[in-house]
């Protein structure tokens, strides 16, 4: 069976750096931090009082008020990004085969805000079970993919990938594979998350996972810096339209780039800590290269998981060195989480967007907030510190690793006819 080629024809984004792809990308290149004191609730008693919130998002620009109230923020962000991506791809409802289009969406948590609010309301009451009839449909993690399919009438494969912070990279890999195998012609793929609430911040604080640099939120996410002290919680959504090449060419679609391959692995080590030698990360990158039929020297940029945790950044660099050897020092490496924070299940989607735009535009976004060298990291790595760098980017690899030891990597490359 001849495998089909898969390209990216549309992008959409709701992020802490902007509520469209253009603003998101420009702020990445300019090294803007999305971190600031939390406005969503009173965080004064929390160990961490800041986050990378989505700013200025008005759901009524996308839905009427009645419909918006039926959607948890994670679904609002996801639907908005999908609407942007479908418009960007030029896929107008009624002008495509609905049976050949599908949705695969990622979310690590789903409707956490809704779940929290309903529990709070019940606890404040007299014990009588009064719950919103939309409680369950707003909260379940798969609901955003359902809403997207309903909105665009897509009757092809439809499901949600849940693998913590690897969720939306898994969604892209699954969509890529279904198209390759002729199960569909295009997919709305990506992910969304909205965990900036009391339960989200409090839960991650209890794990000692978040930075507590409350005196300087904008510099708190500092991957590969010796003084890094945890990640910054982010929220938002990213959407990519993945499409079979001939289907895209036939309708004259613009092509951002090509999906070359994807890999998946497990650490099988610890529920939250990475493998100390980066074994799972090493395996997933090798798997992605093998799937793409590429050699390590064909990759120019790695968008790392790079969360700014003491253990994670070290294990990932060990894995990169293990996979790429001396070519590791010719790569540009950057963590865009230094600017966006960590979007959990949506991280892979917005980072895949950053990767494909790096390939398209031959420029690598920076890792900001580097102040002090970590002597445990090899000084020959180019972490693209503090300033974007122009270079030829033939192909980029994007890493995402999740609690539970879930690892996923996707490779994007320039489209060549």
Q: Within a domain: residue 186?
A: yes
Per-residue tokens: 306: 């790079």
Say whether pLDDT at 111 is over 90. yes
Q: Within a domain: residue 1?
A: no
Q: In this structure, are 213 and 324 located in the same domain?
A: no
Count of alpha carbons within 13 Å of 408, Cβ hemisphere only? 27
Q: Within a domain: residue 2?
A: no
Question: Which residues span the domain enclosing 34?
Answer: 7-250
Last residue of a domain, one of 221, 250, 279: 250
Q: In this structure, are 133 and 242 located in the same domain?
A: yes
Say whether pLDDT at 222 is over 90. yes
With b for 16 or more beta-carbon neighbours within 10 A and e for fewer, the 54-68 pattern comes to beebebeebbeeeeb
Q: Which residue has the tokens 């996410």?
A: 221
Q: In this structure, are 15 and 34 located in the same domain?
A: yes
Confidence at residue 78, expressed as pLDDT on a 0 to 100 scale: 98
Q: Give catalytic status of residue 165 as yes or no.
A: yes
Question: Rounded mean pLDDT of 41-51?
Answer: 98
Q: Give catalytic status of residue 370 as yes or no.
A: no
Q: Is 325 left (phi over 0), alpha (psi -120 to 50) or beta?
A: left
Question: Rounded mean pLDDT of 54-82?
Answer: 97
Q: Within a domain: residue 71?
A: yes
Confidence at residue 130, expressed as pLDDT on a 0 to 100 scale: 93
Last residue of a domain, one of 183, 217, 250: 250
Question: Rounded mean pLDDT of 4-15?
Answer: 98
Under the banding of pLDDT at 50, 70 and 90, the label for residue 183 is: very high
Question: Rounded mean pLDDT of 242-253?
Answer: 98
Q: ∠ CA(316), CA(319), CA(320), 5° rounding?
A: 90
Q: In this structure, are 234 and 341 located in the same domain?
A: no
Question: Rounded mean pLDDT of 342-346?
Answer: 98
Q: In this structure, are 277 and 301 located in the same domain?
A: yes
Last residue of a domain, one of 191, 223, 250: 250
Catalytic position from the list 52, 144, 165, 239: 165
What distances in angstroms separate CA 29 from CA 132, 162, 346, 356, 367, one per listed residue? 43, 30, 20, 14, 10
Q: In this structure, are 225 and 161 located in the same domain?
A: yes
User: In this structure, how many other beta carbons lie within 10 angstroms of the beta carbon of residue 87?
Assistant: 13
Q: Within a domain: residue 255?
A: no
- Alpha-carbon gap, residue 73 to 235, rounded angstroms: 9
Number of domains in the chain: 2
> Residue 247: CB partners within 8 Å, gap ≥ 6?
185, 186
Q: In this structure, are 173 and 47 located in the same domain?
A: yes
Catalytic position from the list 147, 247, 275, 342: 342
Per residue in 351-407, pLDDT (tens digit) is 999 999 999 999 999 999 999 999 999 999 999 999 999 999 999 999 999 999 999
Q: In this structure, are 236 and 266 located in the same domain?
A: no
Q: In this structure, are 240 and 269 located in the same domain?
A: no
Confidence at residue 353, expressed as pLDDT on a 0 to 100 scale: 98
Say whether pLDDT at 83 is over 90. yes
Beta-bridge partner residues of 51: 36
Question: Rounded mean pLDDT of 78-97?
Answer: 97
Q: In this structure, are 284 and 211 located in the same domain?
A: no
What distances in angstroms separate CA 223 from CA 18, 34, 278, 350, 359, one per listed residue? 21, 15, 16, 17, 22
Q: In this structure, are 106 and 136 located in the same domain?
A: yes
Under the banding of pLDDT at 50, 70 and 90, the label for residue 276 is: confident
Question: Rounded mean pLDDT of 106-125?
Answer: 97
Confidence at residue 359, expressed as pLDDT on a 0 to 100 scale: 98
Q: Give catalytic status of residue 342 as yes or no.
A: yes
Confidence at residue 347, expressed as pLDDT on a 0 to 100 scale: 98
Question: Rounded mean pLDDT of 33-43?
Answer: 98
Determine the longest span between alpha carbons in the chain, in angstroms.
Answer: 66
Q: Within a domain: residue 256?
A: no
Catalytic position from the list 147, 247, 275, 305: 305
CB–CB of 339/27 below 8 Å? yes
Confidence at residue 238, expressed as pLDDT on a 0 to 100 scale: 98
Q: In this structure, are 239 and 286 located in the same domain?
A: no
Confidence at residue 377, expressed as pLDDT on a 0 to 100 scale: 95
Say whether pLDDT at 1 is over 90. no
CATH number at residue 383: 3.40.47.10
């Amino acid at each position: 069976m001849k495998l089909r080629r898969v390209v990216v024809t549309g992008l959409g984004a709701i992020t802490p750096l902007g509520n469209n792809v253009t603003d998101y990308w420009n702020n990445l290149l300019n090294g803007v931090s999305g971190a600031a004191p939390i406005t969503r609730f009173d965080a004064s008693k929390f160990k961490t009082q800041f986050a990378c919130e989505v700013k200025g998002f008005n759901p009524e620009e996308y839905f009427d008020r009645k419909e918006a109230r039926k959607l948890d923020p994670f679904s609002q962000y996801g639907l908005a990004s999908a609407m942007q991506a479908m418009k960007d791809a030029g896929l107008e409802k009624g002008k495509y085969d609905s049976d050949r289009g599908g949705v695969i969406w990622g979310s690590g948590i789903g409707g956490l805000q809704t779940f929290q609010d309903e529990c709070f309301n019940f606890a404040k009451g007299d014990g009588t079970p009064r719950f919103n009839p939309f409680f369950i449909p707003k909260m379940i993690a798969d609901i955003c993919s359902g809403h997207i399919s309903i909105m665009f009438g897509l009757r092809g494969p439809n499901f949600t990938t849940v693998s913590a912070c690897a969720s939306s990279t898994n969604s892209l890999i699954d969509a890529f594979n279904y198209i390759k195998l002729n199960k569909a012609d295009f997919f709305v793929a990506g992910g969304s998350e909205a965990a900036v609430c009391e339960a989200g911040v409090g839960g991650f604080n209890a794990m000692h996972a978040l930075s507590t640099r409350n005196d300087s939120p904008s510099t708190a996410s500092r991957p590969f810096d010796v003084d890094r002290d945890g990640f910054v919680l982010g929220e938002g959504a990213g959407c990519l339209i993945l499409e079979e090449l001939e289907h895209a060419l036939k309708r004259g679609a613009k092509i951002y780039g090509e999906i070359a391959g994807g890999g998946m692995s497990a650490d099988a080590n610890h529920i939250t800590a990475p493998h100390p030698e980066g074994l799972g990360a090493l395996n997933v990158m090798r798997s992605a290269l093998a799937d793409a039929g590429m050699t390590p020297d064909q990759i120019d940029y790695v968008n790392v998981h790079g969360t700014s945790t003491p253990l994670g950044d070290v294990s990932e660099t060990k894995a990169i060195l293990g996979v790429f050897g001396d070519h590791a020092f010719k790569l540009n490496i950057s963590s865009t989480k230094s600017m966006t924070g960590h979007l959990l299940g949506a991280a892979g989607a917005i980072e895949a967007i950053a990767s494909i735009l790096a390939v398209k535009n031959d420029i690598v976004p920076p890792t900001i907030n580097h102040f002090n060298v970590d002597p445990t990291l090899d000084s020959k790595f180019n972490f693209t510190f503090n300033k974007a760098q122009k270079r030829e980017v033939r192909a980029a690899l994007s890493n995402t690793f999740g609690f539970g030891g879930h690892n996923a990597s996707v490779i994007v490359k320039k489209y060549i006819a």
